[in-house]
Structure 1
Amino acid sequence: MRTRPGRSRLRFRSALIVTTAGVLAAACTAGGGGASGPAAAPGADQAVTVQVWSNFSDRELGIVKEALDKYHGKHTNITIDNQGSQDDDKITQSIRSGNPPDVAISFTTDNIGQFASSGAWQDLKPYIERDKYDLDDIPKAVLDYTEFNGNRVALPMLADVYGLYYNKDLLTAAGLSAPPKTTAELLDYAKKLTVKNPDGSIQVAGFLPQMGFYAFKPQIVGTMFNAQWVDKDGKSSLGKDQGWKDMFTWQKELVDFYGWDNLQKFTAGLGQEYSADNGFHAGKVAMAIDGEYRTAFLADQTPGLNYGTATLPTSKPENHGGGYTTGTIIGIPKGAKNPGAAWDLIKYLTSDTDALVGLANGLHNVPSTKTSLSSPDLKLGDNFKPFLDAFANKNLTSNPASTIGDQYLKIVSDFGVSWQTGTVPDLGKGLADLDKQIDDAKALGK
């Protein structure tokens, strides 16, 4: 779902985008549920204009328009005002000013805790219960990132799933016949696939373990080690969970294999993540973690690359088959003028198989219901299949929603940067310190 840097859901932001008091003060008009129940959809003879805001633009906005036009064809009384290039900040500002769109589409799942706890997005539960919306058709990990503390303020509209990309020619040259399934194998493959120049510098990297580079992010890599973010009481558990210790130890072994200075010099010479000279595209990186959307980049920018895809390697074989997921979310902002019509459109975009398949084919993303995964109309190619399989797997995971948004992810990522450079003397103490930082930040964010 990322077709350029501006689409990145995994970028870190230091400031919270939702100011709770400000949003609630401005969001005191129409709501989803209440004493009178959820708003009704407009009658067939009632002309309504529904304003939809998203951060889609250019070709992608056109793909969304196709889906909206099909909805309009079934509901000719409902005109849709489809506005792109509207990010979460703009949506939040519109709520604060009392003039929000009817439907908000966000690429930033990490903001769901703020949307829910502040009341910025309306509770969809009354609509879901009234219309018997089938939540069971959505994987649990996806349900988790579209609600907060039982407050469902969003539904998924397409998903990103992360897996392993590998250069088939480089694997064959190294005598490797299949992609790695375990993290131990990934470490071994990375060393075997690495080619160094006579001076010891890196010519080809088997796999890049540099925190924050491309898609090497704690929430994705942590999935490979079944690392748990919180304990049963909702407290940060990095210092107590063995998965995090295993992940950082594994990372450091590979960093030390390359040498930190060597690794820095090598990655400094690679192309940007979304450019045609991305390290994997250029054949300078043999294996890489990335989302399903990379298949579209490769088809467009490097059609001759002989590559394959697989689900993420895991530290334990019993956890294999899943992966990390995030995605586009859609909801009704507080103060929406036409909440009943907005819900009817949201229901269509998130549960109608034809609509989801059309969007998935056009945007090269994973459709977000179990039913749509098996549609014969999906035309996404063989290298897309592992992402569909991972999305349907019981081991699919995501990171938890929080009132502090992605601040806790930045805290862990910053630690990972220090750890990989060798400036953290005690891993256990460092992870325990992270727990205090995160829990303190959550306490302030309440």
Structure 2
Amino acid sequence: MRRRLLGALAASALVAALGACGGGDEASGGKTEVVFSYLWAGEEAAALEKIITDFNASQDKITVKGVSSPDFQKQLTSMSGAQGSFDISDHFGSGVGAWASKGILTPLDDFIKADGYDTKDFPAAAMSQMVYQGKTYSMPIALHTQMLLYNKKLYAEAGLAGPPKTTEEWAEQIAKLTKRGADGTITQLGYANAEINTSFTTLGFMFGGSWDDQSGASTPANPGNVAGLSFYTDNIPGKYGVEQVRKFTSGFGEYASAQNAFYTGKAATIIDGEWQPVAIKKFAPTLEWGVAPLPYPSAQPNLAGTTQVTTSTLFIPRNAKHPKEAWEFMKYLLAKDAMTKFSLALGNLPARTSLVDDPQYKALPQFDAWLGALKSTNARSLASSPWAAQYTADLAQAFDDIAQQRKAPNDGLAGVAQKAKSYAP
């Protein structure tokens, strides 16, 4: 999921070069062939192909042809012509606004209205990213929330009973869980970012911040955002030295591998997503770990249960040859049975609130914590705006400057706020 997201952000920057308006030919037996070009690969693609096979066997009017194509640039290129090479595909919620503003997505509202399709079962934090200027351009197939993961063995060694409830408690624990040699060299960090961009935006939410206002305008310099990033700098590079932190983290292994810093005990706590139970089972089956709600400032107990929600979405390109048939297949993927199979195979959260308590998810260790976060009134998400790609790039640069202490949090985010004045739909 992380690799797909990074690729999506890079590809979104190409949207400005695209124009507008599908794929698929008539299959044998009089069926309409719908091409589903999806970005998943490997085990995830195999799970998706099983669902495609089930759909094809469920009716006699449509044949879906699945094509694994984890290439965002190719996806966008196809969508820029008069007739594309596919009828339905997937992306992330953060890119909906940018793509919709360029006219390369098919609005789904007429399909939704004609079928009386109920979207109320999808969390508001997810659906808010599906809409641009009052029209729905995409639908969520899977969700992702952020929680605090902690190493139980390292906690026991530090004499800590359990995870923190408040950010003040977390700061104390970070200090007890960070180890250094006689020369100041770090050998263990109490907290390390699993993925800097998502962790930093989540920290902003945890301190009551917001990265966008109700109109969708970017608000990077929100005081809560500054407080969240200040928490990181105060407790990690500001306390142990940016050079020492850089030296230590440069030795971290690949994220999706047995050398992941959290799996090897180099990082005692991280903020990360619901795919971790599946990943830990695969890469670190003996790891003693736990998951807990993100801590909140003691002075702001109303922020308990804060999490960031991101979405994996389905869309129909404007130049799809068979949009009606693609919508029929989309509805199948969004139905409870297919969604459950899909999300379980990927270790992702279902996009329907009615599936949160489904017992099938009990098979994934400690998965309930991420599922429960979907119910939180403090589930937050970034706005899906036309300038999301530029905003993301500017934030990434600022986050790096702040993490490396080239800039203080307030200065770094103020710089992004200045750049945001030039953003245009």
Residue aligned with 1:123, SS: coil
C-alpha separation in 2, matches of 1:375 and 1:18: 38
Choose the corresponding residue for 2:37, options 22, 33, 53: 53
Counting matched residue pairs gives 417
Residue aligned with 2:377, SS: coil
In structure 2, the CA distance between the partners of 1:314 and 1:133, relative to structure 1 (3 Å rule), is farther
C-alpha separation in 2, matches of 1:171 and 1:424: 32
C-alpha separation in 2, matches of 1:166 and 1:414: 28
C-alpha separation in 2, matches of 1:163 and 1:194: 20
C-alpha separation in 1, matches of 2:310 and 2:214: 22
RMSD between superposed Cα atoms in Å: 2.3
The match for 2:373 is 390
Q: Is the 8 A contact 1:325 1:398 kept in 2?
A: yes
1:172 partnered with 2:156: yes
The match for 1:35 is none
Q: Is the 8 A contact 2:12 2:389 kept in 1?
A: no
What displacement does 1:295 show? Answer: 1.3
C-alpha separation in 2, matches of 1:58 and 1:233: 39
| TM-score when normalising by structure 2 | 0.92
Letter of the 2:43 partner, please give it: R
1:411 partnered with 2:394: yes
Deviations 1:90-111 (A, max 9, x none): 22111223223111112x3322
Q: Is the 8 A contact 2:41 2:70 kept in 1?
A: no
C-alpha separation in 1, matches of 2:102 and 2:8: 22
1:230 partnered with 2:230: no
1:248 partnered with 2:235: no
The match for 1:6 is 3
What displacement does 1:214 show? Answer: 5.4
Residue aligned with 2:421, SS: helix
The match for 1:275 is 257
C-alpha separation in 2, matches of 1:286 and 1:147: 38
Q: Is the 8 A contact 1:235 1:439 kept in 2?
A: no
The match for 2:74 is 90
In structure 2, the CA distance between the partners of 1:12 and 1:259, relative to structure 1 (3 Å rule), is farther
In structure 2, the CA distance between the partners of 1:73 and 1:14, relative to structure 1 (3 Å rule), is closer
Deviations 1:13-64 (A, max 9, x none): 38712136x422xx1x89xxxxxxxxxxx9xx96211110111112211101
Residue aligned with 1:56, SS: coil
1:435 partnered with 2:424: no
Letter of the 1:251 partner, please give it: Y
C-alpha separation in 2, matches of 1:264 and 1:430: 19
What displacement does 1:337 show? Answer: 1.2
C-alpha separation in 2, matches of 1:271 and 1:423: 25
Q: Is the 8 A contact 1:193 1:286 kept in 2?
A: yes
Choose the corresponding residue for 1:99, options 53, 72, 84: 84
C-alpha separation in 2, matches of 1:378 and 1:430: 41
What displacement does 1:139 show? Answer: 0.8
Q: Is the 8 A contact 2:192 2:270 kept in 1?
A: yes
Q: Report sequence identity in percent.
A: 26
Residue aligned with 1:288, SS: strand
* Runs of 4+ with >6 A deviation: none
What displacement does 1:232 show? Answer: 4.5
Between 191-200 and 261-270, report the one with greater CA deviation: 191-200
C-alpha separation in 2, matches of 1:11 and 1:342: 22
What displacement does 1:151 show? Answer: 2.3
What displacement does 1:432 show? Answer: 3.0
1:80 partnered with 2:64: yes
C-alpha separation in 1, matches of 2:68 and 2:168: 44
1:27-426 equivalences under 5 Å are 27=21, 47-97=31-81, 98-106=83-91, 108-208=92-192, 213=195, 217-239=199-221, 241-254=222-235, 255-315=237-297, 316-350=300-334, 352-424=335-407
C-alpha separation in 1, matches of 2:46 and 2:183: 50
Residue aligned with 1:137, SS: coil
In structure 2, the CA distance between the partners of 1:401 and 1:215, relative to structure 1 (3 Å rule), is closer
Deviations 1:339-392 (A, max 9, x none): 111101111212x11111111111111011011212223344231110000012
Q: Is the 8 A contact 1:215 1:289 kept in 2?
A: no
Letter of the 1:336 partner, please give it: A
What displacement does 1:190 show? Answer: 0.7
Between 126-135 and 295-304, report the one with greater CA deviation: 126-135
Q: Is the 8 A contact 2:38 2:68 kept in 1?
A: yes
In structure 2, the CA distance between the partners of 1:82 and 1:12, relative to structure 1 (3 Å rule), is closer
What displacement does 1:327 show? Answer: 2.3
Letter of the 2:405 partner, please give it: G
C-alpha separation in 2, matches of 1:11 and 1:348: 25
C-alpha separation in 1, matches of 2:378 and 2:268: 26
C-alpha separation in 2, matches of 1:168 and 1:296: 18
What displacement does 1:433 show? Answer: 3.0
Letter of the 2:207 partner, please give it: F
Letter of the 1:298 partner, please give it: I
Residue aligned with 1:166, SS: strand
Between 411-420 and 367-376, report the one with greater CA deviation: 411-420
C-alpha separation in 2, matches of 1:90 and 1:14: 9
Q: Is the 8 A contact 1:214 1:273 kept in 2?
A: no
